[in-house]
Structure 1
């Protein structure tokens, strides 16, 4: 087995897999006890996080990474996420990575377009 990926490399692989709808690759990067927090939900456990991400991934048409920075345990990745119903959303994930797996993910994005679309469909 080769050298372990840096948190920045894990972050890039994670977002690219998510943007490409490769939920198996996303699952491989999540620790069993991962915590996830976004403007809409807070979850614990790989199963719950993967289910929520898989549901949202259905409306994602792709991602374009803007920047990635990291240190020995954390990474922050900014990307544009193209979606059908919400247009392009700029998002930032702050990830904590241990042993090559994501143990915590804090996602931040402007929720205006999402809220606007949900109110219109209600």
Structure 2
């Protein structure tokens, strides 16, 4: 198996587990030394990153994967997330870095402005 194929398997396993709400399966793809950043939050460990996932998924009504790009130790997914909120559809890009078959960092890129208006 090539490194690029392994990268694809790990990233897709994480993406699919996260959007079906399978926190243990998503966490299994993350390294202990993990960082996450987005326009609305940051985290430095898998637990902190996934703790609010159930609440987020309560408003998600669908996800359409638009593009997947894979390299040896990085990947980028572009997708639309559909929500039952005033935000509606959110175009999102997600960049992953991997080491030794685990995701070490995720940078989530989207316009956070509509979310700031509805967050407590």
Question: TM-score with structure 2 length normalisation?
Answer: 0.84
| 3-state SS in 2 of match to 1:77 | strand
Is 2:62 the partner of 1:62? Answer: yes
Q: Distance in 2 between matches of 1:38 and 1:116?
A: 16
Q: Distance in 1 between matches of 2:8 and 2:41?
A: 24
Q: Which residue of 1 aligns with 2:43?
A: 43
Q: Distance in 1 between matches of 2:29 and 2:62?
A: 19
Q: Which residue of 1 aligns with 2:12?
A: 12
| 3-state SS in 1 of match to 2:21 | coil
How many angstroms does 1:3 deviate by? 7.9
- Output one character per residue of 1:43-94: Cα deviation in whole Å (capped at 9) or x when no partner: 1011111213344233222311101102100001101111111311111111
Note the residue ranges of structure 2 that are not aligned, 5 or more in a row. none
Note the residue ranges of structure 1 that are not aligned, 5 or more in a row. none
Q: Which residue of 1 aligns with 2:98?
A: 97
Question: TM-score with structure 1 length normalisation?
Answer: 0.83
Q: Distance in 2 between matches of 1:57 and 1:105?
A: 18
Q: How many residues align?
A: 118
| 3-state SS in 2 of match to 1:40 | coil
Q: Distance in 2 between matches of 1:64 and 1:12?
A: 13
Q: Which residue of 1 aligns with 2:84?
A: 84
Q: Which residue of 2 aligns with 1:112?
A: 113
Does the C-alpha gap of structure 1 residues 3 and 71 become closer, same or farther in structure 2, counting only changes over 3 Å?
closer
CA RMSD of aligned residues (A): 2.1
How many angstroms does 1:9 deviate by? 3.0
| 3-state SS in 2 of match to 1:6 | helix
